[in-house]
Structure 1
Amino acid sequence: MKQVIAYYRVSTHRQGKSGLGLEAQQMAVQNYCKLSGYEVIHEIMEVKSTRKGRFGLLQALEMCRETNAMLVVARLDRLGRDVEQIAGIVKSNVEIVVTDNPHANRFTIHILAAVAEDQRQRISENTKEALCAAKRRGVILGKNGTMLAIANKKAAQEFALQLSPVITRLKNKGITSVRAVCRELNKRHIPTFRGEGRWHPSTVGILMNRLKYTMTSP
């Protein structure tokens, strides 16, 4: 039986204390390993931004080398937020599996990281343009929740981007309607944008519209 080290990461202490982000990652990894016949011999959980170092990830990689185990993460962005970070990990001579894209090889992981970074850059640029446009209209940023609304919009777009591989796989299986996607997301216990509750057709519709906007924005 193949042995694996599971690595989970959330970026804020609020998410870590709530367990919402960690629980979703843990469930995805455990379900994948169970279906694949893999044995999870150790789990490493890290509550830290990638900008502040990744001691837990380095520890997980070292344990993989010592035990000849495979590193398993729930999503690609748990390894890092830019191509340079992920490229270094891919070159670490440790076998890596990302559960939301388990057939991706080292080359594919690198390409996916590059695409994700480009999409995040687009979101950032669109947000800056929205702020500049608001200033030109005479809007006082930070007043009446305007700044918060823009920040929430950016966060929602990034969340949609994170779920894009899941939506793509469902589409490839012929699951395309809002209601069908809704059932699958709930069946897989994938958390909503707020991290709690169940998916509904209306929230799935919003997600898919945001994803379409993110993918087509210039």
Structure 2
Amino acid sequence: MSRVFAYCRVSTSDQTTENQIIAIRQAGYDVPKARVITETISGGVMAMERPAFKAMVQHKLEAGDVLVVLKLDRLGRDNIDVQQTIQSLISKGIGVISLDLGKHDLSSSEGKLMLQIFSAFAEFEKSRIKERTMAGLERAKSEGKTLGRKTVIDLAKLQQLKAIGLSQSAVSKNLDVSLTTVKRYWNK
């Protein structure tokens, strides 16, 4: 018989995972307290970069186990990361159930279909983000905006100080910028 784990996540310390735990148990998953993994961390943090989630995957979950989440967004906000996380769990023989998807085991035929649909949307989302970024860059260029990092140093002043023989360290102090910044622009 497989062991059941629950992963419950909230984004801020003024929130609680208690409602998620209650909902999972009310859905018929009697998860022992030791197998309820809770975490307070942003959904924007990649799943395997979250300490509690990573520890659960690496040290607790085994092939044949089932991981239950209240909603798919508990695994993360980034569709691509969620897809990769689920695929990784399934490849290790771990079942994934998201209650907001009608209790479908995402490793079943129906679940795999849902994952393929989500993957298509994730790929579409990724493409749209790239298109919007490129359009924004083109618009900025056409408006004459300088792209990239802003210069934090007065280049003319740097060249004047260099011309009168000041060292890079002295120029750094004179312009009140780091020595690294002076070195970056020294020969420009």
After TM superposition, the score normalised by the length of structure 1 is 0.45
Cα deviations across residues 126-170 of structure 1 (Å, max 9, x unaligned)? Answer: 4304422541552859xxxxxxxxxxxxxxxxxxxxxxxxxxxxx
Change (3 A) 1:82 1:96: closer
> Which residue is 2:52 aligned to?
56
Distance 1:109 1:63, change over 3 A: farther
Residues 52 and 83 of structure 1, relative CA distance in 2, 3 Å threshold: closer
After superposition, the Cα gap between the structure-2 partners of 1:127 and 1:88, relative to the gap in structure 1 and judged at 3 Å, is: same
- The structural deviation recorded for 1:121 is 0.1
Higher relative contact order (CA closer than 8 Å, sequence separation 6+): 1
User: What amino acid maps onto 1:127 in structure 2?
Assistant: R
- Tell me, in whole angstroms, the C-alpha distance in 1 between the residues paired with 2:127 and 2:50: 26
Amino acid at match of 2:37: I
| Secondary structure at the counterpart of residue 17 of structure 1 | coil
Identify if the C-alpha distance between structure 1 residues 50 and 9 changes in structure 2 by more than 3 Å, giving closer, same or farther: farther
Please name the residue that 1:16 is paired with.
Answer: 12
1:45 aligns with 2:50: no
In structure 2, the CA distance between the partners of 1:16 and 1:133, relative to structure 1 (3 Å rule), is same
The one-letter code matched in structure 1 to 2:62 is: R
- CA pair 51-17 structure 1, distance change in 2 beyond 3 A: same
Q: Which residue of structure 1 aligns with residue 104 of structure 2?
A: 103
1:86–1:113 Cα contact (<8 Å) kept: no
CA distance in 2, matches of 1:97, 1:39: 14
Identity over the aligned pairs, expressed in percent? 15
Distance 2:144 2:68 in 1: 46
How does 1:86-101 map onto structure 2 within 5 Å?
86-101=86-101
Cα 1:122–1:70 change in 2 (3 A) is same
Between structure 1 and structure 2, the one with the greater Rg is 2
Mapping for residues 159-178 of structure 1, pairs under 5 Å: none
Q: What SS does structure 1 have at the residue aligned with 2:31?
A: strand
The alignment partner of 1:72 has SS state of: strand
The runs of 5 or more residues in structure 1 that have no matched partner are 142-218
Identify if the C-alpha distance between structure 1 residues 51 and 138 changes in structure 2 by more than 3 Å, giving closer, same or farther.
farther
* Gap change, CA 1:126 and 1:38, over 3 Å in 2: same
Change (3 A) 1:123 1:43: farther
- AA aligned to 1:27 is N
Q: Which residue of 2 aligns with 1:118?
A: 123
Q: Within 1, Cα distance between the matches of 2:121 and 2:47? A: 17
Equivalenced residues, count: 131
Of residues 105, 125, 128, the one that matches 2:133 is 128
How far apart are residue 69 of structure 1 and its match? Answer: 5.0
- Residues 181-196 of structure 1 mapped to structure 2, 5 A cutoff: none
What is the alpha-carbon distance in structure 2 between the residues aligned to residue 69 and residue 94 of structure 1?
A: 5
